[in-house]
Structures are given as C-alpha cells and as structure tokens.
Amino acid sequence: MRVFVILTLVLGARCCPDGWIQHSLSCYHFSHDLETWPGADYMCEKMGGKLVEIETAAENAYLTPIVDSQKHNYWIGLSDVQEEGIWMWMESKEKLSTTGFSHWYPNQPDNSEANENCATINFDVGGKWNDWHCNGKEANYICEKDRETDVVG
C-alpha cells in the first residue's frame, strides 16, 4: 500500500473534474441541457472534451445504465454528415466500419426523410443507437475526455 501512495504522490493522481464521472481512462459528462448535435459538439469542446466516441461493447455497457436511469436520449460523436452512409467518429475521424463495434437499433440507421446524419444512444432499448436530424432535434449529450493528471508533491 505504501508503494501505491508514494507513486501517486510522485506521478500524480489521475482524476476527473467536478461534474464528470470517471470510468477506465476517460471522464464522462452527461448533460442536463438539450442541444442540437452541432450545439452539443460545441458545448463538449468548450468543456475541454468531445462528444463521446463509443469504441467497445464494454464502454457502451458502462454508459447504458446511466442513459437508462436519466430517461433521455443522448447525442454521441457519430455522424455520416461528410458522406452519406459512411458513419464516422467525428473527433478521431475513425470510420465506424473500421472500429469493429456498433450498436444500432434494428433497422437503423435508416436516414428517415433523407435527413438523419447524427447518432444518439437511446434509453430503455439497451443502449442501442439511432440516427436523428442533426439540427432539427434536440437531445442531451455525453462528453468525453481523458482523465486529468494532478501533480502532487
């Protein structure tokens, strides 16, 4: 136990700021306000983060009970706005097809009315994803950022 305490003091503790929840190597902020997808992206950037990029089933499984408990749909950082049908994580520029994980609701994405280019993670459906109108709908949003290092000592 002493070795851990000394290493923590020397190397610094990794933590999340107030209003953010720590999980693994990331911090997550679940908004209480509604925004369009571009507005949500902007708000996350202003808080030093990005719209969440859900890279694994484990990460989706971590987020799902929180989303369900809040009873809101949340914007995530996934869009096909640059090229229809090519879903991409907007911050990392990783194509969804290359990341190996997706969790779409059955028959989604469907690009309803030829105008759904941004994705949400939805409550009460096991954290499944849906495509929505980026500017025409408002939803809560999840921001993500790396844990911060506080140098101590």
- What pLDDT was estimated at residue 11? 43
Q: Of the candidates 121, 128, 34, which has an alpha carbon nearest to the alpha carbon of residue 74?
A: 121
Decide if 31 contacts 19 (C-beta within 8 A).
no
| Confidence at residue 137, expressed as pLDDT on a 0 to 100 scale | 83
pLDDT score at 14 = 65
| DSSP β-bridge partners for residue 144 | 28, 50
Structure tokens at 64: 């799902």
Q: Which pLDDT score is estimated for 8?
A: 35
pTM for this prediction: 0.86
- Mean pLDDT of each 10-residue bin along the chain, 153 residues long: 38 77 96 97 97 96 97 97 96 88 96 96 95 93 85 47
* The predicted structure's pLDDT at residue 149: 59
CATH numbers and ranges of domains, the chain: 24-150 (3.10.100.10)
Task: Quote the CA–CA distance of 39 and 28 in Å, as a whole number.
Answer: 17
